[in-house]
């Protein structure tokens, strides 16, 4: 698995340090409130697990599974809901937890959907932001790292369902996805 990585872009230690900072900021943002923290599966599951441990206000959690990449490195443009929320978002302060914003299509779809369900507020925390990939205008309120234009894997990010369990984020060797 490690042999398929061209370069480690962000180390495990750097990721964990940044998550502690994000946790502190979010704890201030939501002081006195109990946000509903939504994990966008599958990619965000590791980030969600590490992030909620460093948030000091009470939170409720729910999970949604959406997919638009499948076994490719390009968004299909069609966001497929594989699992919806169990909880009503009506009147709730919603914090969406994403691993990466690339084209922005997944999040713009989710934000529209949650607005339609009358959330009181919707904010986004993403660990990685790849602004060069954007197809729609969209920015997260909280971003861990701005990353360059390359297909990344690790720390939840997959290529064809593999590499999610790497503890760091790396650039996949192009020969892996062009072969
Ligand atoms: O900004 P975008 O171009 O929409 O890309 C970001 C989305 O793509 C990935 O999900 P994917 O569809 O690969 O599903 P997965 O989380 O199960 O891997 C990632 O986890 C984000 O949810
Ligand atoms: Mg994926």
Q: Which domain holds residue 123?
A: 2-173
The alpha carbon of 109 and the centre of ligand 2 are apart by a number of angstroms equal to 16
- Mean pLDDT, range 73-100, rounded to an integer: 94
pLDDT number for residue 73? 85
**Ligand 1 mean position to 32 CA, how many Å?**
32
Does some domain include residue 22? yes
Name the pairing type of β-strands 93-101 and 80-83. unpaired
Atom of ligand 1 nearest to the CA of 106: 4
Find all residues with CB under 8 Å of 47, minimum gap 6, and list them: 19, 97, 98, 99, 127, 155, 156
- Is residue 179 situated within a structural domain? no
Q: What is the dihedral of CA 49, 52, 74, 140, to 10 degrees?
A: -170
Instruction: Tell me if 104 is assigned to some domain.
Output: yes
Q: Residue 102 catalytic?
A: yes
Q: What is the CATH number of the domain that holds 38?
A: 3.40.50.2020
- Residue 78 domain-assigned (yes or no): yes
The 10s digit of each residue's pLDDT in 136-167 is 999 999 999 999 999 999 999 999 999 999 99
Residues 6+ away with beta carbon under 8 Å from 21 = none
Confidence of residue 179 (pLDDT cuts 50, 70, 90): low
List, for residues 25-73, the tens digit of each pLDDT value: 999 999 999 999 999 999 999 999 999 999 999 999 999 999 898 888 8
Q: Give the tens place of pLDDT for each residue, 90-138.
A: 999 999 999 999 999 999 999 999 999 999 999 999 999 999 999 999 9
110 found inside a domain: yes
**Quick check: pTM over 0.90?**
yes
Q: Does the residue 151 lie in any domain?
A: yes
Report the pLDDT value the prediction gives residue 177, as an integer from 0 to 100: 82
Ligand 1 atom, smallest distance to 130 CA: 1
- Which residue owns the Cα nearest ligand 1 atom 10? 67
126 located within any domain: yes
For the chain, what is the domain count? 1
Residue 178 lies in a domain: no
């Amino acid at each position: 698995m490690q042999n398929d990585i061209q370069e480690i872009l962000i180390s495990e230690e750097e990721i964990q340090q940044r998550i502690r900072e994000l946790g502190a900021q979010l704890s201030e943002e939501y002081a006195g409130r109990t946000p509903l923290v939504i994990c966008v599966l599958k990619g965000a599951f590791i980030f969600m697990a590490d992030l909620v441990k460093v948030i000091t206000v009470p939170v409720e959690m729910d999970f949604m599974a959406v997919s638009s990449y499948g076994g490719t490195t390009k968004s299909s443009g069609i966001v497929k809901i594989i699992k919806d929320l169990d909880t009503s978002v009506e009147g709730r302060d919603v914090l969406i937890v994403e691993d990466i914003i690339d084209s922005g299509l997944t999040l713009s779809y989710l934000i529209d959907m949650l607005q339609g369900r009358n959330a009181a507020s919707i904010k986004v925390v993403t660990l990685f932001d790849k602004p060069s990939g954007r197809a729609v205008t969209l920015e997260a309120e909280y971003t861990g790292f701005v990353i360059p234009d390359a297909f990344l894997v690790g720390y939840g990010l997959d290529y064809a369902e593999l590499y999610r369990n790497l503890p760091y984020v790396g650039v996949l060797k192009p020969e892996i996805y062009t072969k």
